[in-house]
Chains A and B, each alone.
Chain A
Amino acid sequence: MFIKYSKDHEWVSINNDIGTVGITDHAQKHLGDVVFVELPNLYKIISKGDEACVVESVKAASEIYAPLSGEIIQINDLLTNTPSVINTDPLCEGWIFKIKISNTEEINTLMDEIAYKNFTS
């Protein structure tokens, strides 16, 4: 298992062909208090870069783009009533959806932790 990052400030934890997606700590700090998450539809097939779902903070609505192509196989129901978990635990409890990756080659287009740290500094 390893973690990759997108330029849109999402993290993907990759375990074989399953990716768990959330937003980074940098992103949640920038967004401010999250008050609503419009989760993606289960079993939806999406392509890398497509709008997957929307995270709304007290400041604005932000689209979350699919960091990889594939099928949405699980969504984090905890966020329906407790969206603030994205602020308090963005990298663990605050995951948003799981995707069955259809093209593992796309993983190489994402950043590793060091590259992402440089990207945000």
Chain B
Amino acid sequence: MSDATLKTTPLNALHHELGATMVPFVGYDMPIQFPLGILKEHRHTRTKAGLFDVSHMGQLQIYGKDGAKIFERLVPGNIRGLDTGCMRYTQFTNDDGGILDDLIVTNAVDHLFVVVNAACKEQDIAIMKSAFGNELRILDDRALLALQGPVAVNVLVRLAPSAANLTFMTGAAMEVGGFHCFVTRSGYTGEDGYEISVPAENAECLARKLLTSHEVEAVGLGARDSLRLEAGLCLYGQDIDISTSPVEAALLWSISKRRRKNADFPGANRIQKEITEGISRQRVGIKTKGRALARRGCKILDQNGKLIGKITSGCFGPSVQSSIAMGYVIREYATINTVVFLMIRDNLIPAIIVEMPFITPGYKR
């Protein structure tokens, strides 16, 4: 039975019909896994294609000729420099340089298309409402489906031939199976794939069309988490939050030279200072020796037993076939191949700082 206080996505009935295990997730009744199970759903996405319901995320449009210019007052990303159809990852920062949320902005010809995290949706809408007023449109009548994996392109072009023309981090409005959609070649798994913004009333029909292909399996939030962690992608609220700056989070690549130089975004002082003077801690990838899992909150120690950081996300990486994690360590220990120790229950488990992503991404650039 579903909890009546939970919100549902337009695919809720379909999830139940497919036999999903449903859990409350940021106020929504969401599938954590389908009968296939998390490991197989993960591997299927890496080898074929997985269909994810990410309709809980916030979808917005910003109109007005100064949209990109005003947007840059809220984020450190280069929004004015976005060519038509191109998209970019950036963060809402506060005046202290902390991350309020991370988001994707696409230049959709006559407007900006914005996708934000479900957990931060209300805060983000308030931020954008005060910046854009009536130029902000909240797309609460649309679902968001992600089709991810090496054969996602083959499946989608049957319903939308022009999807093949998109390259990684670009998007366009197009018909998918006869429905008016906005499609981007992007995702949260490290694989090639698409995110499809579709009118809520067509979402279930489109999902069923995609699932008729034997190459596509429904995938839940469990595998979504292990896929994004293998891909080295942050989860807001775990790996980044209000206390972490984009520099500490190793997201400096998302701040262009112009934005760094002009320092005209919230928290620019801290971020500029961190760029010139360095940071005290940094987000890193960590691989443990053996299969012991480093869960969130697990302490990271150096060879002398000194506390040097904490794990923010950890799981068994089904494609890496080992225990992987992300965490923050004191800057001196952030160098690749540094040996550290993780306090897992009462045992000290050796681990190593590694480069992220943990897998080779399949993005089509």
Q: Please give the residue numbers on chain A whose beta carbons come within 8 Å of chain B beta carbons, in ascending order.
A: 32-33, 35-36, 38, 54, 56, 58-59, 61, 80, 83-84
Contacts and interface: CB of A to CB of B under 8 A. Distances in A.
Contacts of A33: 37-39
B293 A61 contact: yes
B39 A58 contact: yes
| Chain B interface extent, by class | 10 to 19
B350 interface: no
- Residue of B38, B226, B293, B295 contacting most chain A CB atoms (<10 Å): B293
B22 to A, nearest CB: 14
Contacts of B291: 35-36, 80, 83
A32 B39 CA distance: 9
Contacts of A35: 39, 291, 293, 316
Interface of B: 32-33, 37-39, 222, 226, 291-293, 295, 315-316, 323, 345, 347
**Interface-centre pick from B32, B33, B222, B291 (highest chain A CB count, 10 A):** B291
A59 B293 contact: no
Contacts of B292: 36, 38
Contacts of B226: 58
Q: Which of B32, B38, B295, B323 has its CB near the most chain A CB atoms (within 10 A)?
A: B38
B222 A59 contact: yes
Nearest to B23: A59
A51 B323 CA distance: 23
A32 B293 contact: no
Contacts of B345: 38, 54
Q: Is the interface of B mostly helix, strand, loop or mixed?
A: mixed
Contacts of A59: 32, 38, 222
Given A33-B37, A33-B38, A38-B345, A58 B316 contact: yes
Nearest to A79: B291
The 8 closest A-B pairs by CB, nearest first: A35-B316, A58-B38, A33-B39, A36-B291, A56-B293, A33-B37, A36-B293, A33-B38
A56 B288 CA distance: 15
Contacts of B316: 35-36, 56, 58
Given A32-B33, A32-B37, A36-B323, A58 B295 contact: no
Contacts of A61: 293, 295
A38 B222 CA distance: 22
7 contacts: A36-B291, A36-B293, A38-B292, A54-B345, A56-B293, A56-B316, A59-B222
A80 B289 CA distance: 12
Given A36-B292, A38-B347, A56-B316, 16 more contacts: A32-B38, A32-B222, A33-B39, A35-B39, A36-B291, A36-B316, A54-B345, A58-B39, A58-B315, A58-B316, A59-B32, A59-B38, A61-B293, A80-B291, A83-B291, A84-B39
A66 B38 CA distance: 28
Contacts of A84: 39
A54 B33 CA distance: 23
A58 B226 CA distance: 9
A35 B290 CA distance: 11
A36 B345 CA distance: 14
B259 to A, nearest CB: 39
A32 B40 CA distance: 11
B299 to A, nearest CB: 16
